[in-house]
Chains A and B, each alone.
Chain A
Amino acid sequence: MPILDLQSRFGINMDQWVLIQSGSQPNKRAARCHAFEKEWIECAHGIGQTRAKKECQLEFEDFYECMHRQKTLQRLYAIRVQRDKMVKEGTYTPPQHKPNESL
């Protein structure tokens, strides 16, 4: 909660636009994790940090995961490691994909 809040007093927006991804973006393009951030902010707004940390744990974890994708990449790495292991053992042959299928 800003003490002086000069920016809303003067009606200008000097640096508030950098604060959240879910603010208004140029060309109206939504951020990648807009939905998760919106959910988290709607959950955690106005109830104080101590309560928010407890009650909005799931939303925050989803938002964090969307931004950093730590669990996703860990999962993908585990699958890749397992695949290489099985290829080395000889129990698995990766299927042939058509080359040059770029998106």
Chain B
Amino acid sequence: MAGSKVKQDMPPPGGYAAFDYKRNLPKRGLSGYSMFGIGIGVMIFGYWRIFKWNRERRRLEIEELEARLALMPLLQAEKDRRVLRLLRENLEEEAILMKDVPGWKVGESVFHTDRWVTPLSDELYNLRTHEEAVNSRFGFLKYL
């Protein structure tokens, strides 16, 4: 069909304006080396801070241990006095209880030696309530 003017969608006269279609990947940001440098620098700063604080913590820990050392004679002496007091009370109770039992020697040591033998917690708490005896043996587990 020659010459028939059909309405078609054509570009405007003079063509379209130019636009950029080429790829645009600009170089930006820090280089790889400097990023590594910053990372390592931050790490080194972190290490330095941690090492300083660890040394300070060690000093604090030593201070706590020294406090424990300083208190130990006092606490040990109190504990020893308490153990002896409990043994004495148990001995007197035993004398009262086993008076009429034939062939019983009050305060008889089960060992052939007369060295001091650290008493068991069962010995100390024999005449107390069961809860006290259990607490003396396993009470340290309460604070786990």
Chain A residues at the B interface, C-beta cutoff of 8 Å = 32, 35, 39, 58-59, 61-62, 65-66, 69, 71-73, 75-76, 78-80, 82-83, 86, 92, 94-95, 97, 99, 101-103
Query: What is the CB-to-nearest-CB distance from B46 to chain A, in angstroms, rounded to a whole number?
Result: 34
Q: Total interface residues on B, using CB and 8 Å?
A: 29
Contact residues of A: prevailing secondary structure: helix
Residues in A whose Cβ lies below 8 Å from that of B110: 65, 71-72, 75
Residues in A whose Cβ lies below 8 Å from that of B121: 103
Residue B115, interface by CB 8 Å: yes
7 examples of A-B residue contacts, CB within 8 angstroms: A65-B111, A66-B111, A72-B120, A75-B108, A79-B97, A94-B127, A102-B135
Residue contact A79 to B94, C-beta cutoff 8 Å: yes
In the bound complex, CA of A83 to CA of B79 (Å):
27
Query: What is the CB-to-nearest-CB distance from B137 to chain A, in angstroms, rounded to a whole number?
Result: 10
Residue B4, interface by CB 8 Å: no
Q: Which one, A69, A71, A102, contacts B136 given CB within 8 A?
A: A102
